[in-house]
Amino acid sequence: MKKIITISREFGSGGRTIGKHLAEELGVPCYDSEIIEKVAIESGFAEEYVQEKGEHTHPSLLYSLFTNRTIYTGPTNEDKIWIIQCKVIKELAEKGPCVIVGRCADYILRNRDDVMKVFIYGDVEARAKRIVEVYGEKDDAPVKRIKDKDKRRAAYYQHYTDMNWGASRNYHVCLDSSFIGIDECVKILKDIALNAD
Amino acid sequence: MKKIITISREFGSGGRTIGKHLAEELGVPCYDSEIIEKVAIESGFAEEYVQEKGEHTHPSLLYSLFTNRTIYTGPTNEDKIWIIQCKVIKELAEKGPCVIVGRCADYILRNRDDVMKVFIYGDVEARAKRIVEVYGEKDDAPVKRIKDKDKRRAAYYQHYTDMNWGASRNYHVCLDSSFIGIDECVKILKDIALNAD
């Protein structure tokens, strides 16, 4: 069995729910908000700040030019959070079998050979419906909110990993949850995890 | 059940074998070389030529500039093959449930709502081992051959579909066969196909 399962997911795809149920099925812990909490404690930043900066990259070059911030002034708060996040995720993986949702864990644990990397995504319309129904999102434009969030996650992933978020070759399994269904995704992932060498 | 299953695959990933076994399990035909044969008959080109041109795009811009072929001179042979290939694949899909391997069938059938789109890929080293073992490839540099072939398939797909080959969002399921195993891939795809609405 693969001991560590990382789940990258598009916003609204149900990736977090899949991770939680999969961990229950396998009898292992699922780390999600725990990572934010630990990073907040170790960094001294507030949880909300860590949550938000975990999806932001540096200011764009354009911004830098306008504000004359082209000279390197040391690591940004995002960089500091990234470094602590890497440490926290590596420590959690060391503790034993688990499921880790988000936070570029697939990349952070790339040198381990006991990791199964999963990407969960879905049709934009289905995800918009889901965030309104399941999370009670009040936003008038859920599709726009989803696209913005995907864009930020992709940019963050690209910035820190230099890889393309959602490119199938970065993962062992990619599942469209809006096509397959949440429960079936859990079942498939459980089978693969138990069968993989 | 989804009636039509399209399988895009990296060279040496076992995608063709998976398609064949999946079709047997589902009791439906698997179209692979039949498509080449039909396109050859309808176009008048030789099968080998159709096979080869099904992975080639037009000459590059650089080539066009050097040879003064910048003026549009009508459809190329590749374009003619593409048009017939679209027709053949649409006709096969109309005949009933089936598995179709390669030839951009996922894109060609994009307007149907009974299609399940699959991408099979794998670790380069594992694929190199496979083409030597299973297909008896004599090439001294199987890794280079695999990379060249992937590159050509990607360029062909991009040219005719304007989409990114292997981007997970273009498919419903993406499986790393070198991680999951051929038989387990067949099992997973069968389950999804039978369960999908």
Q: Which residue has the higher pLDDT, B174 or B144?
A: B174
Closest CB to A180: pick one of B167, B175, B196: B196
Three-state secondary structure call for residue A80:
helix
| pTM of the predicted protein model | 0.89
Alpha helices in A44-164 (DSSP H): 47-53, 61-66, 77-95, 105-108, 124-133, 142-161
Total domains in chain B come to 1
Q: Which residue has the higher pLDDT, A54 or A195?
A: A195
Sorting pLDDT into bands at 50, 70 and 90, what band is B30? Answer: very high
Residue A80 in this model has a pLDDT that exceeds 60:
yes
| Domain extent for A90 | 4-195
3-state secondary structure A129-151: HHHHHCCCCCCCCHHHHHHHHHH
Q: Is the pLDDT of residue A140 over 80?
A: no
Q: What is the CATH number of the domain that holds B151?
A: 3.40.50.300
pLDDT higher than 50, residue B20: yes
Calculate how close chain B gets to A69, using CA atoms only, in Å: 35
Nearest to B179 among A172, A179, A181 (CB): A172
* Cβ–Cβ gap A184/B195 under 8 Å: yes
Alpha carbon A80 to chain centroid distance?
Answer: 18
Determine contact, residues B15/B6, Cβ cutoff 8 Å: no
Report ipTM (2 d.p.): 0.88
Nearest Cα of chain A lies from the Cα of B41 at a distance, in angstroms, of 35
Structure-model confidence comparison of residues A138 and A111, the more confident one: A111
Q: What residues contact A191, with CB distance under 8 A and at least 6 apart? A: B184, B187, B188
Q: Provide the total of helices (H) and of strands (E) in chain B, helices listed first.
A: 10, 5
For residue A147, what are the contacts with CB-CB under 8 A and spacing of at least 6? A124
Interface test with chain B among A188, A190, A194, A197, by most B beta carbons within 10 Å: A188
Contact A153, A42 (CB under 8 A): no
Could you give the percent of chain B with pLDDT greater than 70? 88
Residues in A lying within 8 Å of B, measured between beta carbons: 116, 119, 121, 166-169, 171-176, 179-181, 184, 187-188, 191-192, 195-196
Q: What is the mean pLDDT of chain A?
A: 87
Q: Where are the alpha helices (DSSP H) in B44-181?
A: 47-53, 61-66, 77-95, 105-108, 124-133, 142-161, 177-180
Nearest-CA distance A52 → chain B (Å): 25
Nearest-neighbour CA in chain B from A135: distance (Å):
23
The beta-carbon neighbor of B179 closest among A166, A184, A196 is A196
Q: Which of A63-72, B52-61, B69-78 has the lowest mean pLDDT?
A: A63-72
Tell if the CB–CB gap between B116 and A179 is shorter than 8 Å: yes
Inform me whether the pLDDT recorded for A193 exceeds 90. yes
Nearest CA in chain A to B185: A192
B71 Cβ contact partners less than 8 Å away, ≥ 6 residues apart: none
